[in-house]
Chains A and B, each alone.
Chain A
Amino acid sequence: MSEASPAKAYALHLGVIALLFALSFVLPDYHHGLLARIMVLAVFAMGYNMLFGYVGLLSLGHAMFFAAGLYGAGLAVIHLGWNVPLAFLAGIACGALLALVIGLLALRTTGVAFMIVTMMFAQVFYLVILYFAAWTGGDQGLVVPQPARVLSFGATSLDLTNPTVRYMSALALFSIVLLITLAIVRSRYGRVLVAVRENEERTKMLGYDTFSNKLIAVVVSGTICAASGAAYALLFGYVGSSFASVQYSILPLLWVLLGGAATTLGGLIGTVFMYYVIDIASGYTSAYLLIVGIALILLVLFFPKGILGTIRQRWLGWLP
């Protein structure tokens, strides 16, 4: 992999952001709404990718971080009457704290054990949501009231249920997380993470505290996923336990594998791809998951490193 100049890498990412901004003005209504949702979930994928792609830790429990943000923000609005910015911060804080605790415990393991431990913690989190149904709405979930989903700045206010405001809010979150991710992976810290992924023992031998570095990565990853969950609750108005189920731990893994692990834009590409395959295939057959499965097999055969990962390997070695 050759190194890109900072200008080239940032130009590409700013170009993607500009493209998404421009799409807001030309996309038909349905795709406009769908892309807003995709951008929020692509943030979830980017958070997952931070740990899986760059540190090589495969978690099967990231739904708990997404759900921590979802419930942290949603319940703050529903039960405490907090405004949107405070609720969003509450969601992020919940995810960061949870990630810190889970990281301290789960990082005692590696490999398959790490997968199992994270999955078990996520299952506990899911069952806790069901257990406290009086507050969480249990398996049915809760609606975040439409009048509360307003972002106020003094005399002016932005209604998050307005399609344009929602799209731009999703784009803002996506852009910030994308640029932060890019900055992290290009930093000295990002290189340490890759070193841990490639050979943890050697990294230790070079004097790095790999546990602390991995713990920071878990917290950053969990925080980004929580930001996605908090945004989902506030932008789309629903918090439900299905978002804490194992399905939502598998989905970001699939999105990242499809788009390309350890590529900054892979999360977006994978999420877009999966969403549209499901959306289009379900219009033709109820066996659309079969088509999704076939698409995944073909991708693994022809793009073993994911779409962007393979492009980087074959043509654009400088892709971050």
Chain B
Amino acid sequence: MTDKNGFFDLSKSTLSRRTALKGLAACAGLTLAPGFVRYSQAQSSAPIKIGFQSHRTGIGAAYGRWYEKTSAAAVKAINDAGGINGRPVELVIEDDGTDPGRGAEVVGKFATQHKTDIVFGTLFSHVVIGSAPAAGENKIPYFVVSEGHHVASTKLNRYVFQPGITDVKSQIQSMAPWIAANAGKKVTQIFPDFAFGYDHRDYLPPALKAQGAEVIAQIAIPPTESSFTKYFPQIPAETEVIYHVMVGPAVLTFVKELGEFYGSNRPQLFGFMDSLEATDINSPGLEFLDGSHFWEGSPRYAQADDSAAQKAYRAAVGIDDNGAAVGDPKDVSTASHMFGCWETLYVVKKAMEDAGYKGPEDRAKLVEATEALTEFAEGPEHPQGPKTFNGKIHQCFGIQNISKVEGGKLTVVHKTKIEDGLYEAEGDYTTQAL
């Protein structure tokens, strides 16, 4: 059979200049066509989109702003080093108003409209719990930086992870040995009468008991309370340590009135930095805290023995030696928690690389790859310290800092061990279907 018109006879064809130009133009046109661009990028260099559920407004706004700053710094560092699997990372931010109803809608928006690869960054527990069903239903991995025990309780679902910050149960348990050995054996707890306070109410007594100390009184203060003096007579006289975890704007009044109640002859004070995140420790009324101790996730103030990784992290995020924004000393950071955003993004990077993640079709692989992680070494990716990760409960465990207020600063006086915060798993997410 011969080809009479010579269409298939390449030997007879000659490539004219016009034909060559047409061919080049066609190739260029194809390359520039939107559809082709999308196709080619999806295979190679399209950004990995991370939906950032941010508390831009509502009660969590102070945290939200610093979570955004930290996450932006981490994304820049990751992109400067080549991205994830050779692809740049892009943060897509939506405000959840620190509201669980809106939070669930935002997770749905990331999954179905923005079509992000994962959702990330939520802090407030009620928003995490309200949003978790939407993440599970949309089968989109949801990496939270919340410190609540809800993830590790295994009451959520297989798509929810907390690999960048320890949970409050672990934090409380880690504090008990130091309190019993250094502050006192008879402890009175003062806590807000809602879920955050209940974690401390429920987890501290058994942890102290294991150390030979005891909680002798628990004083719950209603969240709407604005004056606290009437509660202080309930503090038993034999109290050696007051363990306080008041949060919100009323904390300044709480500390001031506690100071007026006790004067210079007070028991030891131990608190959680959640009370004073984004608040200057030298604010008027907080003088009474001088000499007291606090839990800190990551130290607010630069320490003499800071690692190179910690220094690099602080520089990248833009916080000065006092833990405030560089150039604005009044803009105090949420240092105890926001490091979790940095570390979580590096966990996501590691898990995506392990899974060979290419796109949303690999989300199940990403879940399994995250569950397979076991350890995170201290370094530029984990500047707060080393961690272990329990893939069954989707929760990391790490060191904690105990800092003393002295000279208007917080100085770390003790670092706990990872083992101090370990507890028995309450369930196993890996048994759930993907």
Where the two chains meet, the residues of A that have a C-beta atom closer than 8 Å to any C-beta of B are 28-30, 32-34, 37, 130, 133, 137-144, 146, 161, 236-238, 240-243, 279, 282-283, 286, 288-289
| A240 proximity list for chain B (CB < 8 A) | 100-101, 126, 129-130
**Known contacts A140-B125, A161-B137, A282-B94; A146 and B150 CB within 8 A of each other:** no
Does A289 contact B108, Cβ atoms closer than 8 Å?
Answer: no
* Interchain CA distance A279-B57 in the complex, whole Å: 14
How would residues 25 to 57 of chain B score, 1 for a CB under 8 Å from any chain A CB and 0 otherwise?
Answer: 000000000000000000000000000000011
* Interchain CA distance A141-B126 in the complex, whole Å: 6
Quick one: which of B99, B101, B109, B148 has the most chain A CB within 10 A?
B101
Does A130 contact B194, Cβ atoms closer than 8 Å?
Answer: yes
Does B113 contact A139, Cβ atoms closer than 8 Å?
Answer: no
Q: A-B contact count, CB below 8 Å? A: 91
For residue B157, CB closer than 8 A to chain A, the reply is: yes
Interchain CB contact (< 8 A) of A30 among B108, B133, B195: B108
For residue B182, CB closer than 8 A to chain A, the reply is: no
Interface size class of chain B, counting residues whose CB lies under 8 Å from the partner chain? 20 to 34
Nearest CB of chain B from residue A227's CB, rounded to whole Å: 18
**Known contacts A30-B109, A34-B108, A242-B101; A146 and B137 CB within 8 A of each other:** yes
**Interface of chain B, main secondary structure:** helix
For residue B136, CB closer than 8 A to chain A, the reply is: yes
* Interchain CA distance A237-B157 in the complex, whole Å: 12
Does B104 contact A286, Cβ atoms closer than 8 Å?
Answer: no
Does B198 contact A138, Cβ atoms closer than 8 Å?
Answer: yes
* Interchain CA distance A236-B195 in the complex, whole Å: 22
Nearest CB of chain B from residue A318's CB, rounded to whole Å: 36
Nearest CB of chain B from residue A97's CB, rounded to whole Å: 25
**Known contacts A141-B126, A142-B129; A242 and B95 CB within 8 A of each other:** no
Does A242 contact B57, Cβ atoms closer than 8 Å?
Answer: no
**Known contacts A28-B113, A30-B113, A282-B95; A242 and B126 CB within 8 A of each other:** yes
| B100 proximity list for chain A (CB < 8 A) | 141, 238, 240, 242
Does B112 contact A289, Cβ atoms closer than 8 Å?
Answer: no
**Given A33-B108, A34-B105, A138-B198, 7 other A-B residues pairs in contact with their CB atoms under 8 A:** A32-B112, A133-B198, A143-B155, A238-B104, A240-B101, A240-B129, A286-B57
**Known contacts A33-B112, A138-B194, A286-B56; A143 and B129 CB within 8 A of each other:** yes
Does B148 contact A29, Cβ atoms closer than 8 Å?
Answer: no
**Known contacts A139-B194, A139-B195, A140-B195; A238 and B133 CB within 8 A of each other:** yes
For residue B193, CB closer than 8 A to chain A, the reply is: yes
Of chain A, the residue at the smallest CB distance from B64 is A286
